Structure 1
Amino acid sequence: MELSDLILLKLNVCVPKPSQTQNMAVHKMKMGFIVIVIYMCFFAPVHQAQPSSATISDLSLKNMDFAMNLYRKISNYHDKNIFFSPLSISTSFAALLMASDGDTHKEMLEGLNLEQLERADHPQLIPELFQLLNDNITQNGSLKLDQGMALFIRQQFEVETMFEDQIKKFFDADIKRVDFADTKGSISFINEYIKCKTEDKVRKMISTLDAMTRVMLINTIFFQGAWQMPFDSNHTQNAPFYIDNYSVVQVPMMFIEDKFYMMEDVPLRAKVLKLPYQEGVSMLIVLPNKGMDYTVIDDEISAEKFLSWIKKLQKTKLEVNMPKFKMEQSYSLHSLLPDMGIASVFSNSANLTKLSKEEGLKVSEVLHKAVIEVDETGTTAAAATTIGITPYSLPRTFIVNRPFFFFIYHEDTNCLLFMGRLIDPSKE
């Protein structure tokens, strides 16, 4: 892709490319790699902003319920694989909350399930909580979870100073001026920014751009996780995965035997398994019982249910069989969020006066892209601990060979970083 000298100069200054050493490190730790990108464009045509209250655990719980509601909206549209980052989406809209006022602000608060955290006497509480949550998740520096936000602003567009200061303060956002009238150059510049921020995993995020774009908000999140107990790649072999009663695919199935935390949700007719990553993050797998329609569980997923699963986990010796898989999913959230009550921000009645006093602003689209790769190892050094089976204590089995749900969460805060549903591991 050709870039103008100006764009190349900006990239060299603002977004240095990863070194060969960094690329090798990423390759070695690909096992729980996840990436998300969200962008919001504010186009010409409409008119007027206000945000705010509680604790990190309150915020995590509210984010989780929003995630479950959004999942149900997505699942209503198809019966395929699903994967997205609730934290990334919520963080983006938390930034947008600071730009909004009136009914637009109220709608977003309610749609994001954050209205109970709003405090008139503490208008910056919600962004403060997001800042504290991010600091808490990454506090010791050992967890590889990089979140980034960038605001691309049209060169002559005037952003309110308070909004610009707040988005830098609470979300450490990059503020960049762009000539959106040069659509080809802008697309190249923005895609290169995203590519660098996601360590080359997300390319060509956008292919078209309206020349009337005023502001573009981009949020990226990048996670690398190494299993606490890696699977032994020598034991990986092709095995059947039953998509439904009529469709079966052969997929690489990983194997490990060790002690894991699990529980059975008898009323729901499902089993739950926790697979810990290093540094305080885990994947929770919810596997419907054999013959159980996974869509029944769709209606039961909630923050309360998720927390009940975590509390009831018990350690037991298990043989775990789980498919390797890669997934890349994209969503046009502006088509989904109005059904969740977030509508006016996309319409000519949008009130974004805390972003700018310019009239005629609305959010044109919200794109969300997520990528995940799950395989046996996290780091090359961690790969070889296996426990032999003895005839004295044969372990139970947890065979993930049919559609399942998975959640990746930070254990100390119960913050839901990512969630998904895998129907067909042979489809990326």
Structure 2
Amino acid sequence: MTTALIPNGAFLNAELDFGLSMLRQVPVTQQLVVSPISVIFALAMVQAGARGKTKMQIDQAISRGAADGAVVDYYSKLSRAIMTSNNGTQARIANGFFIDKRFNISNEYANTVSSMYSAKIESLDFTQPEQAAKTIENFVSQVTSGKLQNIANADTVKDAFAVLINAIYFNAEWEYKFLKGSSSNRTFNTTNNTGRLIEFVNESDEERLYAEDQDMQLLSLRYKDPSYALNIFLPKNRFAIEQLREKLDGAYIQHMFSQLNMTSLRISIPKIKIETDFRLEEALMAMNVSEMFNDSADLTGITDSLRLKVSSATHKAIIEVDEDGTTAAAVTLFKLIPRFAPPESISIPKIKIETDFRLEEALMAMNVSEMFNDSADLTGITDSLRLKVSSATHKAIIEEQIYTTLPSRYNDSCKRR
């Protein structure tokens, strides 16, 4: 699906190239649905707090190295544009930053993600991980109309500084619906030797947007809100999807879009419902977005009281296509942790110790012996008697109550317990 609401060719090229790079991380025979724009928005929120090499890698991936202000301006406008769909199309995008209530983020970062990306910033009690995870789950469920679940659990928030989320939802009817009785069962072949029987929806002699060249056919099926369309790329040579996937890039796709014309066609597309989990961390590292996962990550724009990194990245997406239209949803989650996770606590047990100390022997061993001898001179106390110290006694007691603390490097960010 594409949106034409923000006509910026450079950024659109970057988005398309980013999505193609994601697709190239899995074999063409593997069923897959991903939402590059969801991943990009999540990365844009990390980028807002990234510095140095960490920021540079994200910039290169999502904007081909555009200026910082241009990145924020473009994606903030795109976010607002997605939310202004028309003609019954439902398009929602939401960003969330859920932080352990013991910590704080910088005011500048909070202002950027809340004002530019409309992010919800919420402090949660991560020491109650099940409840915190439930809050995050509810956020995703509300945005995606319950299409995506089981995104966050207790392990998601355990030892986390924060959990950063993007969720996106799309539901739209075709501009021209397929007839209900038009469906038929046909074999869908993925290779010469592999195929399965699935249901197709069909139309004959209908005019739709279409383009082709020597390598592929492009069919663009618009929704009632014409800003959106489902674009289907089909290789001219059967089973040459891998070769086409390698050849495609943002500029090539945009060129094909410019060639679309209304053409009388016989259309047959599969009815589908696909939900997949994507190994996002591995994919991003292969796409040279690796620094944010390393101990050398620089996310000091988020907070300067802790050194953070992204410890895990999750992406899940679903798409359903039938005679009436399309429903799709996606979620991207980044877990941020301190590079050295704080221990849960340091506890000192309650103690009570009382001892007698053999002080005379200790003092004599420490060369304080003369005052114990007959030659001792204590005439400053009295000159009417000759004095000496005959014995020395020492007794001590200590009582210590239980207390809990965190290492000093966390004290600025954590409330004392």
Q: Which residue in 2 is equivalent to 1:148?
A: 94
Q: Which residue in 1 is equivalent to 2:125?
A: 179
Q: Which residue in 1 is equivalent to 2:276?
A: 329
Distance 1:250 1:55 in 2: 40
Structure 1 position 290, deviation (Å): 5.0
Confirm whether residue 260 of structure 1 aligns to residue 208 of structure 2.
Answer: yes
Distance 1:138 1:164 in 2: 21
Alignment of 1:222-371 (within 5 A): 222-257=169-204, 258-266=206-214, 268=215, 270-280=216-226, 281-289=228-236, 291-371=238-318
Amino acid corresponding to residue 99 of structure 1 in structure 2 = G
Distance 1:313 1:217 in 2: 38
Match of 1:127 among 62, 72, 89: 72
Q: Which residue in 2 is equivalent to 1:387?
A: none
Amino acid corresponding to residue 235 of structure 1 in structure 2 = S
Match of 2:34 among 84, 92, 96: 84
Contact 1:331 1:368 in 2 (8 A): yes
Confirm whether residue 64 of structure 1 aligns to residue 16 of structure 2.
Answer: yes
Cα 1:55–1:105 shift into 2, 3 Å:
farther
Summarize deviations over 1:328-349 as a string: whole Å, max 9, x none. 1111311111121111110110
Structure 1 position 71, deviation (Å): 2.0
Q: Which residue in 1 is equivalent to 2:26?
A: 75
Contact 1:157 1:214 in 2 (8 A): yes
Contact 1:148 1:220 in 2 (8 A): yes
Q: Which residue in 1 is equivalent to 2:338?
A: none
Cα 1:113–1:339 shift into 2, 3 Å:
farther
Q: Secondary structure at the match of 1:125?
A: helix
Structure 1 position 198, deviation (Å): 0.9
Structure 1 position 137, deviation (Å): 4.2
Distance 2:186 2:72 in 1: 47
Instruction: Indicate the larger mover: 289-298 or 81-90.
Output: 289-298
Q: TM-score, normalised on structure 2? A: 0.72
Q: Which residue in 1 is equivalent to 2:116?
A: 170
Distance 1:204 1:188 in 2: 10
Distance 2:109 2:7 in 1: 23
Cα 1:58–1:288 shift into 2, 3 Å:
closer
Cα 1:310–1:125 shift into 2, 3 Å:
closer
Q: Secondary structure at the match of 2:232?
A: strand
Distance 1:193 1:149 in 2: 9
Q: Secondary structure at the match of 1:124?
A: helix
Q: TM-score, normalised on structure 1? A: 0.71
Structure 1 position 141, deviation (Å): 4.6
Distance 1:79 1:140 in 2: 34
Contact 2:190 2:239 in 1 (8 A): no
Contact 2:49 2:300 in 1 (8 A): yes
Contact 1:56 1:133 in 2 (8 A): no
Q: Which residue in 2 is equivalent to 1:106?
A: 56
Structure 1 position 138, deviation (Å): 4.2
Distance 2:7 2:199 in 1: 43
Q: Secondary structure at the match of 1:297?
A: helix
Amino acid corresponding to residue 129 of structure 1 in structure 2 = Y
Q: Secondary structure at the match of 2:49?
A: coil
Structure 1 position 55, deviation (Å): 7.5
Contact 1:110 1:341 in 2 (8 A): no
Confirm whether residue 160 of structure 1 aligns to residue 106 of structure 2.
Answer: yes
Cα 1:57–1:107 shift into 2, 3 Å:
same
Distance 1:67 1:195 in 2: 24
Structure 1 position 169, deviation (Å): 0.4
Summarize deviations over 1:248-279 as a string: whole Å, max 9, x none. 2111111112111212221x2x2221111111
Q: Which residue in 2 is equivalent to 1:23?
A: none
Cα 1:153–1:261 shift into 2, 3 Å:
same
Distance 1:203 1:67 in 2: 23
Distance 1:66 1:291 in 2: 26
* Greater radius of gyration (CA): 2
Structure 1 position 140, deviation (Å): 5.8
Structure 1 position 218, deviation (Å): 0.6
- Which structure is higher in RCO with an 8 Å CA cutoff and minimum separation 6? 1
Contact 1:65 1:113 in 2 (8 A): no
Contact 1:153 1:178 in 2 (8 A): yes
Alignment RMSD, CA only?
2.4
Query: Number of residues paired by the alignment?
Result: 322
Distance 1:293 1:58 in 2: 28
Structure 1 position 95, deviation (Å): 1.4
Distance 2:266 2:7 in 1: 39
Q: Which residue in 2 is equivalent to 1:220?
A: 167
Structure 1 position 139, deviation (Å): 4.0
Confirm whether residue 199 of structure 1 aligns to residue 150 of structure 2.
Answer: no
